[in-house]
Structure 1
């Protein structure tokens, strides 16, 4: 059965075969995965007057973004990845990506919030985020849905929309960049 699921996963559109080492790492568990939200409606940053408690004021997932989030979830299931704790930025596009990909938003975490255009918050927010990504998951992998600006501030990696950046927690409270996976079209 595992071989059949792996064969199906290899046929999924956009799954990069070079990522098999990273997929295998995720199968073993113990990783923290930062997922940049899937594709959104056109624009950059947040619209003027955006309110976190009102999704209608935000840039939200496009139809293509919803399809990307579904492909991400399909790939996780096809590779038999155990999803443990789920955390999400308070922004609607991250919460929706989580709901579609893994079936739940998980806990909303301010440290995963968007840093685009909020450079003055970067040091404080990254300091709040570091202990979260340095925690070894209690089971499976911890999946965190966030923004490209936040991933970049923490890791120096600028992920594509819907891309997974895999981190391995290290003794002493740090983390190591373990790989990246893009599940494309």
Structure 2
């Protein structure tokens, strides 16, 4: 092999190892479709449930994100942008930890959505919670267009709706029907 040909092949090998500019990914492609949504659990908030006597209007009475959770939320937002998601409709449960997670994703102010409210302290409300979520999806999906729809909520809500129990910051891509009922899903681990 000539020296010139060897240099050419070495150049090709070097070019093949260079990173490719971020573009659309499977996730961003899916989320641009009208029947796909991303539902995620809030970032790290130490503990389980909320203290007795908590109120939604007072974050000091709730379980909240710690610094690790805030960092997780920012990393998730950056990871979503690396996947090619540039515009998103973001909604969160009324709890402070979900609102803060949604805000730190960096897609603009989240919409507070009662349909994403936790029912941790009242498991009997699980079916009603699913119905409210599906009603919300029926109203928001027609106007979603190609934007991603990201819902930030609680593990109990995600588990009841999809059958998947997820850790803090984990996400579930869900394909829904016209009534907002889940048809299929894929879990995404929290990016580190």
Matches of 1:102 and 1:62, distance apart in 2: 18
- Whether the 8 Å contact between 1:111 and 1:128 is mirrored in structure 2 is yes
TM-score, scaled relative to structure 2: 0.79
Q: Bigger shift: 134-143 or 84-93?
A: 134-143
- 2:122 corresponds to which residue? 118
- Whether the 8 Å contact between 1:37 and 1:161 is mirrored in structure 2 is yes
Unaligned runs of 5+ in 2: 1-18
- Whether the 8 Å contact between 1:164 and 1:180 is mirrored in structure 2 is yes
Instruction: State the shift of 1:174 in Å.
Output: 2.9
Unaligned runs of 5+ in 1: 7-19
Q: Bigger shift: 102-111 or 64-73?
A: 102-111
Which of structures 1 and 2 has the bigger CA Rg? 2
CA 1:138–1:32: 2 relative to 1, 3 Å: same
Matches of 1:59 and 1:68, distance apart in 2: 16
- Whether the 8 Å contact between 1:60 and 1:93 is mirrored in structure 2 is yes
Structure with greater contact order relative to length (CA < 8 Å, sep ≥ 6): 1
User: How many pairs align?
Assistant: 170
Alignment of 1:80-159 (within 5 A): 80-133=84-137, 135=141, 137-159=144-166
- Whether the 8 Å contact between 2:137 and 2:179 is mirrored in structure 1 is no
Which of 22, 46, 71 aligns to 1:5? It is 22
**Superposition CA RMSD, Å:** 2.3
Matches of 1:120 and 1:176, distance apart in 2: 23
- Whether the 8 Å contact between 2:93 and 2:112 is mirrored in structure 1 is yes
Matches of 1:73 and 1:172, distance apart in 2: 28
TM-score, scaled relative to structure 1: 0.81
